[in-house]
Chain A
Amino acid sequence: MKKYRMKKTIGYIALNIVFILLCLAGLIPILYAISLAFSKSGSALSSGLFLLPKNPTLENFRKILFEEPFFVWLKNSVILSVGTMVIAMTVSVEAAYAFSRFRFRGRRSALKMLLLLNAFPQILSMFAIFRLYKIMHLLNLHLGLILIYAGSMCIFGIWNMKGYFDTIPIEIEEASKIDGAGNLKMLVKIILPLARPAIIVTSVMVIIFVWNEYLFATTFMLQENSYSLAGGLYQLQADDYGRNWSIFSAAAILVSVPVLIIFFCIQKYMVSGLTAGGVKG
């Protein structure tokens, strides 16, 4: 029995070592970027392997915040995320509600169609959109980009919130019907408050999506002052990354921290939200 316990302890020590190594493998690129962001520009590139910078400095953060148009990019990113969130959510909430509550002809095929459309990579029709936008003079406008994001996130929103609406018991609606509430009043006063968790999570995920998107942002925004954070950072590293690399690291950290915080706050719901939407079809 003693031998068995020994073996078990050794097994757990080994397992812990494996997990420590795995976590390190996951974190090293991030830690390396953090260490570069705090070290003097230039010195980090020359040599040394230390994860802790010798003379930590905030110089890179000062440079990115005040010598680069960081706040302009930030403003643009906020406009894009919030705009997309507002448009995508206003249209997809009612649609999700309709697809969850009503049984009508064409419902199943519409839902399937949405799922198929969601599987299509939008990059493939990017040129078509680009050409249409160029003809209609929508390039370089926030509105144009917001519409593209909203269109693609709207499908996600419908599926995600439909799953949640399905779990709200129908009796609540029937009761309010008897009390004389109309369709719209019921939706606003009763259903939306009940579905608040789903609405918040979906909104946050829309915001994160827009915050993290770079390809459309860099293709459709061609002027310096309309760049989003993604576009700005992309530009920063594309210029001459030898010199800018530690500034880029500082910017990368500034951009990632809010996303990391939000992510870990809603992480629990994210997994259940994603699986719930996928299984029911």
Chain B
Amino acid sequence: MKRKHSYIPWIYSFPALLLIGIIIVFPILYTGFISLTNMNLFHWMNYKVIGLGNYVRALSKINSGFFAALMTTILWTAINMVLQIVLAFFIALGLNAPGLKLKRLYKTLLMFPWAMPAYVSILLWRVGIYNTEFGLLNKIAVMLGQPKVNFLSENIPAFLSCLVLNLWMALPFMIMMIDGALQSIDRSYYESAVMDGAGFMKKNIYITVPCIRPVIAPAVILTTFTTFKQFDIIYLLTMQKGSYTGATLQTVITYAHQNAFVSNNYGLSSAVSIVIFGIILLFSIFTNKSVKEEEANEKV
């Protein structure tokens, strides 16, 4: 539809764009500015511009922790996504088995972890499941005559604990998405495949996976972003203000937060933030392209 006055849509969207400009865009630019200064607790007002020093510090010194955090983040995202997609795929397949009578009940029950407020779930897990004294896991361990385990005091167990919790919280969404996608597949494909003698594996590799790929691609990308920028789980489980558990696990996001609000090194933290912004920007441009290509291929 063509409208003559091309300023009208801008009038309509002006309030929204203004709000976004002030609350989202301007702080990002301001972060960029702070990253060029030596602002910290002692230079709160009388900071001065020091150029790219903070970036050099964040990127060049291995011991500044940024690279370790980046590696942890990549590992965290990759393991989480692989486990989530594989597990959710098989669970959704199971839910769609034609003779499963209680499927609606199972679906509803499986959704609960998704519906709980995230910080409530995390805090419940921290004390209710992982805690050394009151945690359910350690109570079970004691009943079985095993020694108590301190799940959050060292990096590797803490990483695994965070991983399990993230799976618990994120799987329902993925199951739901894949379940929806599975239902959109035409049954007749399977019938003719069975005629041709295809088994369970072949049916899934050649029919199910290609059919659901375009449908779940946006959900997977969305989840990859949320997993990459996941902050709550690691922060609330291991490093709340005043109650560190001993693990020194850092992702890039917690690293930036730590530098800004705990060690008050605002310049360095802003530089780290800008670098992460850059990574996310590149990543989203890249994924945007690949989704477009996939869509184009579908149409041909």
Contact = CB atoms under 8 A, between A and B. Distances in A.
Contact of A127 (B24, B232, B269): B269
Majority SS at the chain B contact face: helix
Contact of A98 (B9, B133, B256): B9
Contact of B134 (A104, A121, A245): A245
Contact of B115 (A97, A131, A263, A274): A263
Nearest to B180: A271
Nearest to B118: A212
Nearest to B175: A22
Contacts of A121: 229, 231, 253, 276, 280
B23 A264 contact: no
A95 B20 CA distance: 12
Interface string B133-158: 11010011001000000000000000
B210 interface: no
B177 to A, nearest CB: 7
A99 B34 CA distance: 34
B116 A120 contact: no
A154 interface: yes
Interface stretch (A8-16, A53-61, A62-70, A197-205): A8-16
Interface in B17-43: 17, 19-20, 22-25, 27-28, 30-31, 34
B205 interface: no
B53 interface: no
A102 B10 CA distance: 10
B31 A114 contact: no
Nearest to B273: A124
B110 A15 contact: no
Contacts of A225: none
A158 B143 CA distance: 53
A230 interface: yes
Interface residues of B, number: 95
Interface string A113-134: 0111101111111111101100
Contacts of B244: none
Majority SS at the chain A contact face: helix
A260 B284 contact: no
Interface string A214-249: 110001000000000010011001100110010011
A281 interface: yes
B24 A152 contact: yes
B8 interface: yes
Interface stretch (B61-69, B77-85, B96-104, B190-198): B96-104
Interface residues of A, number: 95
Nearest to B2: A103
A29 B20 contact: no
Nearest to B143: A49
Interface of B: 1-3, 6, 8-10, 12-13, 15-17, 19-20, 22-25, 27-28, 30-31, 34, 91, 94-95, 97, 99-100, 102, 106, 108-121, 123-129, 133-134, 136, 139-140, 143, 168, 172, 176-177, 180, 215, 218-219, 221-222, 225, 229, 231-232, 235, 240-243, 253, 256-257, 260-261, 266, 269-270, 273, 276-277, 280-281, 284-285, 288, 291-292
Given A212-B117, A264-B111, A274-B219, 12 more contacts: A8-B99, A19-B106, A23-B110, A104-B6, A116-B281, A120-B277, A148-B23, A150-B23, A248-B123, A263-B111, A271-B177, A275-B180
For the complex of A and B, the 10 pairs showing the least CB-CB separation, nearest first, are: A151-B23, A278-B218, A98-B12, A95-B16, A95-B13, A125-B27, A124-B273, A263-B115, A98-B9, A102-B9
